[in-house]
Structure 1
Amino acid sequence: MIRTLLAWLVVVPFAVWAVLRVTGADIADRWIQLVAFTPYVAAASVVPVLLTGLLRRWVPMAVAVVTAGALALAVLPRYFTDAQPPANGATFRVLAANLAVGAGDTTELVQLVERLKPDVLAIQELTPEARKRLDALGLRKRMPHVVDRSQGGVWGSGLYSLHPLTERPLIALGRFRQARAVIKPPKGPEIEVVSVHPCAPSHAEKMACWRSGLAALPRAGERLTVLAGDFNATLDHWPVRALLDSGYRDAADVTGQGFTATWPQQGWRPLPGVTIDHVLADRRMGVRAFSVHELSDTDHRPVFAELTLP
């Protein structure tokens, strides 16, 4: 009896986690924060399998095996590269960086731009002071077409582009300003780009803002669209999965780098790293490369994707 009770005590929490993750249930505010750590729980889910086997409790062991399998199916695809669509057109490079209330090292960011040569740079938590530093470092000369939605605090954002752009209506929810624009490369179709930054689901009163901020992002459609930035959500959160279901692909996932953590950077909060910064590209676009980079004085790591147009 004691062995059976011990077996179920170990198995049930993992089983409940798997059910909530697979179904996409949004049961509580705290769960929204916890689900980001699903890859760690998936790795640990082998423990109940081993323990129930050692205890020779076969029914709990069967549940543990199903649980581990469900979690593995949810997260393991991020470790493997995906097939690419027949996108053999021009290259379109995207860089996204969160500047942590404008404190991020703008000199390093401009150096990253010089090295990676993005067609568009999406910035989150862009303050007027940080924008002035970037302009003084010559970023506007390198990327002259700009959507400036900078603001004090964590709410500002911006887009810097090599190519002409037309600003689209700002996504403004809970004071967060998600800049967006349609960019016209010299070759290929127009591309809409959004600098993504919904509210962080850090407190109960911010959960509705987080949900609405992600829900307001454009779904994949007739126009090619790229969503880049700090989603404050991983691939295990249902709003991001809804975006993927609409016709996007996550560049990290496509290239087998879906476990590469982007927040927090080393030296910030003592938390396991999670992947909340993304480049989501229309599924008609190819993903040639993806990488995560370092940037001093911010808690986020910039993300870069090299895409190909259909």
Structure 2
Amino acid sequence: MGCWLVVAPGAAWAAVRLGGWERGPLVHLLAYTPYAAGLSVLPLIGTLALRRWKAAAVAALALAALTGVVLPRTIASAAADNGGPRLRVLTANIKHGEADAAELVRLVREHRVDVLAVQELNSGFIAEFDEAGIGALLPHRIVDDPAIHVNGGLYSRVPLTGTGVHKDDSGFTQAYGTVKLPGAAPLTIESVHSCAPLSVSDVPCWFAGLRGQQPATPDGPVRLLMGDFNATVDHAPLRALLATGYDDAAVGTGNGLKGTWRPIDHSFSAPPVAIDHILVDPRLSVHGFAVWPLPGSDHSAVFAELSLPVS
């Protein structure tokens, strides 16, 4: 009986993950699937040592299932250069304006960022950001509309056209705009901030926010979503969004296990999870990816270098 009690959690976790059955508190737990995959080897070792063959078989199946969904995130896929100009993008959740504005400007300057998506903006941070010198680097912006404060804004080195604010099904508002580089097809970029499942009562809002994100348009406009999705690729709603045609820049470069968020305002310390993403149209090529700490925020800044399809 004791062996089955040890094996059951891993088997149940694998079933929920594979079946997309996360509901209620399971939404929070499923974000830690990579850690569960690592720990799932322990029941297998224990049951094999005790020669509990049936329990060991179940433990082995759970380990195989969890490893099968986690391990591919560490393997980079070949990135063919599509021949278009390069675009360097960065996304950062600034924790309601508490992040270090000067440090974010330094990241933009040092890594020659062309487009920056920012979540959890407020007027105080916008002023600090300007004082720190962001305007000289990224003079074009969609941040001054109060509707996008605490949600998603954009800063850009090149002009933004076709700008607007997308309101998803959860009520969150996200800025979007189109950039056009010489010799490249236009690229529509949206700064994503989906509803967070802070409590069980927030889970319906979380589902609605992810369902309300713009789907990929493989045969239409080239699209890029980047920001705080409040979901990992172990969550079924994010996988459904990816299934419309997006690629995850982190997963495609073998960096899918790099955590981007961990709580900093609680008495407990939880390991980091990857809830900030750069989702790219399959016509874009990803040539670089990085995650950098952002002092003052519970999120890290997430960077990618892309090449755009030629026009």
Same fold (TM over 0.5): yes
Q: Contact conserved, 1:149 with 1:157, CA < 8 A, in 2?
A: no
Counterparts of 2:149 and 2:180, CA distance in 1: 29
Any residues of structure 2 matched to 1:277-288 within 5 Å, and which? 277-288=276-287
With over 3 angstroms needed to count, the CA separation of the structure-2 counterparts of 1:245 and 1:92, relative to structure 1, is same
- What residue number does 1:238 align with? 236
- What residue number does 1:192 align with? 188
Q: Is 2:43 the counterpart of 1:48?
A: yes
Q: Contact conserved, 1:149 with 1:179, CA < 8 A, in 2?
A: no
Counterparts of 1:154 and 1:98, CA distance in 2: 12
With over 3 angstroms needed to count, the CA separation of the structure-2 counterparts of 1:277 and 1:301, relative to structure 1, is same
With over 3 angstroms needed to count, the CA separation of the structure-2 counterparts of 1:105 and 1:140, relative to structure 1, is same
Any residues of structure 2 matched to 1:203-282 within 5 Å, and which? 203-221=199-217, 222-264=220-262, 270-282=269-281
Give 1:243's aligned amino acid. Answer: L
Counterparts of 1:275 and 1:154, CA distance in 2: 23
Q: Contact conserved, 1:220 with 1:246, CA < 8 A, in 2?
A: yes
- What residue number does 2:293 align with? 294
Q: How much does 1:146 deviate?
A: 1.0
- What residue number does 1:163 align with? 158
After TM superposition, the score normalised by the length of structure 1 is 0.93
Give 1:58's aligned amino acid. Answer: W
After TM superposition, the score normalised by the length of structure 2 is 0.93
The secondary structure found in structure 1 opposite 2:72 is helix
Counterparts of 2:144 and 2:18, CA distance in 1: 37
- What residue number does 1:82 align with? 77
Any residues of structure 2 matched to 1:101-116 within 5 Å, and which? 101-116=96-111
The secondary structure found in structure 2 opposite 1:179 is strand
Q: How many residues align?
A: 305
Counterparts of 1:70 and 1:150, CA distance in 2: 46
Give 1:189's aligned amino acid. Answer: A
With over 3 angstroms needed to count, the CA separation of the structure-2 counterparts of 1:296 and 1:153, relative to structure 1, is farther
Q: How much does 1:291 deviate?
A: 0.3
The secondary structure found in structure 1 opposite 2:241 is helix
| Higher alpha-carbon deviation: 244-253 or 153-162 | 153-162
- What residue number does 2:26 align with? 31
Counterparts of 2:109 and 2:304, CA distance in 1: 15
Q: How much does 1:130 deviate?
A: 0.7
Q: Is 2:7 the counterpart of 1:8?
A: no
With over 3 angstroms needed to count, the CA separation of the structure-2 counterparts of 1:136 and 1:172, relative to structure 1, is farther
Q: Contact conserved, 2:94 with 2:119, CA < 8 A, in 1?
A: yes
Q: Contact conserved, 1:154 with 1:176, CA < 8 A, in 2?
A: no
Q: Contact conserved, 1:96 with 1:228, CA < 8 A, in 2?
A: yes
The secondary structure found in structure 1 opposite 2:25 is helix
Give 2:275's aligned amino acid. Answer: I
Deviations 1:242-300 (A, max 9, x none): 12111111111111111111112778751111111111111221110000112111111
Q: Contact conserved, 1:126 with 1:150, CA < 8 A, in 2?
A: no
Q: Which runs of 5+ in 2 are unaligned?
A: none
Q: Contact conserved, 1:128 with 1:150, CA < 8 A, in 2?
A: no
Q: Is 2:140 the counterpart of 1:145?
A: yes
Q: Contact conserved, 1:101 with 1:153, CA < 8 A, in 2?
A: no
Percent identity of paired positions between Structure 1 and Structure 2: 41
Q: How much does 1:186 deviate?
A: 2.7
Q: How much does 1:86 deviate?
A: 5.0
Q: What value does the CA root-mean-square deviation take over the aligned residues?
A: 1.9
